[in-house]
Each structure stands twice: as structure tokens, then as C-alpha cells.
Amino acid sequence: MGQAQKLMEKGRVSVKPARTISKVGIIGAGQMGSGIAHVVALSGYTVAMNDLKKESFDKGIETVHKNMARQIAKGLIKEEDRDTALERISFAPSFEDFGECDLVIEAATEDEALKHKIFAALCPHLKPTAMLASNTSSISITRLASTTDRPEDFIGMHFMNPVPVMELVELIRGIATGDETFATARQFVESLGKTTAVSEDFPAFIVNRILLPMINEAVYTLYEGVGTVDAIDKAMRLGAHHPMGPLELADFIGLDTCLSVMQVLYEGLSDSKYRPCPLLVKYVEAGWLGRKTKRGFYDYRGEKPVPTR
């Protein structure tokens, strides 16, 4: 942890956010992008959401609508809150539509080359004062920031899935991230009703550095025949009081994302304990990525999920 960050964390240095955020751009209308749009719009910000296809944006808005309906049913928000929030979200077919954004959050697939390509295309269309954030769950913020024209205005802002439900957002500073950027990002996240945890810029940060090796070990346990899918998930739900078994959770996250994070850990830390399980690799190669493809460690094509092993 840098000295400035240590002092800020201890409360001895107070850097006040000098920027005002009112319009937020989001790149990606998938599970994470739509979830971020949900909480950002509900918190009063204007949202421009970009995706390659209008159909993906429409699907993302449908998900936001359904999740807000659940919040209404639970008495967490009112119908007028939902209607107003949905009006704040618009489709941005081109990065040119991000010209007035004060903050742009990238929530694309966990692929470093793709993210580099996105930032290269995005930066020429941003105003000089705009901040950039990546929702990456594992990739170096310093490396991502170095490919932009504003590394001092770049920060990691890792939301947890599902975004409307999970309270935590990891904030990750790259080596060049400025104190003002950090303070503004923290204030913005807290304005969404979220709690921040600050992580150093190491592979997979805090949450996934701990969580994904556990999931990978669960896959090894299945691979080695120690237990079935049902037995492994039941053991962790009832024996450790986890709300969801590790293999069920892997399906929820997406097996491709789990594999990507394990590869980042394995390559970034050069430790054999992070080697992705061959069975996880095989499932991804088969296109069995979990809930989003209807098959993973469970088969979701019927009325009830059925273990595939």
C-alpha cells in the first residue's frame, strides 16, 4: 500500500473529491453491466449503456426491470422509483455517445486484450475531466491504465454479483491513480449505498484471490472423484453454512470467468497451487459455462437443475 493511501485509510489525510459525477457511461449490458446500471440509475445518476448489439441492451434493461420488480415486492423501492430509474438509462450505440460522461465504467468480458482494445477506441471520445474505471475482477489496473491517455484518472471498481444485492465494491488503485480520483470513486460508490474495501493491485485482488481458489479446489475434488456435484455442494452449504455450494456458485459466476481468474492468478503469481483444474478447462472448452449457457456443473434445461456429474 502506498504511503498516501495508508494515510488516507487511517484518516490522517483527507482528499476531498473535486469532481462532480452526474452522467455515467457503462460498457457492457450483460450480467454485470446491467446490474451496475440498475444501482447507478436508482441512485439518481444518468446512465448511458453501450453494447455491441441493441438486442443485448434490451435484454439488459429487461433484467433491470425484473430485478427492480423484486425490490418493489420486498418493499425496498416504490414503483415510481423504478419508473424514474429506467427513464435515466439510455442506449449508447457508439463511444461518441460518452462525450458528456463524467465517469465511464468498463464491464466487458474478463479478457485483457479486449479491454485494451475498448479503452483505445473509447479515450478519444471522452472529455478531459472524465474518469475511467474497470469492473475487472482480476486483471492489473496498472496495466489497463497504462494503455489509456489518463492513467492518473483510472481506477479499479469491482462490483460483486449480483450487483443490486451485494453490498461490497472493491476499489483498486493502479500505480498512477491520483488521490483525487480515488476519493471521487469512493464517494461515488458510497452514494450507491455500497461499502468499499480497498485492495492493492495484485492478481485477483481480495475477494477472488480467496474465493476462486476455493471454487477451483471444489472442481479438483469432483475431478478426483472425492465427491459428486451434489455431495460437494451439500457439504459446503450444510457443513460451512455457505448460502450456495461452490460448484453452483461457479455456474452462477460463469465457468469461463472462473477459468480466466484462475489463469490470471496462475500466471501472475507463478504458484502451482493456482493451476486451473483440467476439468474446469474441459467444461469451458465444451461451451458448458454455467447458467448463461444452460449447462455447467448443473444442467438447467429442465424444470430443476440436475447435476451433470
Question: Which of 205, 122, 85 lies closest to 157 in space, CA to CA?
Answer: 205
Distance from C-alpha of 169 to C-alpha of 191, rounded to nearest angstrom: 12
Task: Report residue 151 as a C-alpha cell.
Answer: 492513467
Question: Which of 50, 9, 19, 7 lies closest to 150 in space, CA to CA?
Answer: 19
Q: Are the CB atoms for 129 and 21 separated by under 8 Å?
A: no
Q: Are the CB atoms for 255 and 222 separated by under 8 Å?
A: no
Q: Are the CB atoms for 131 and 105 separated by under 8 Å?
A: no
HEC-encoded secondary structure of 73-92: HCCCCCHHHHHHHHHHEEEC
Active site residue 158: yes
Strand 103-106 relative to strand 298-299, pairing: unpaired
Catalytic residue selected from 38, 116, 125, 158? 158
Active site residues per annotation: 158
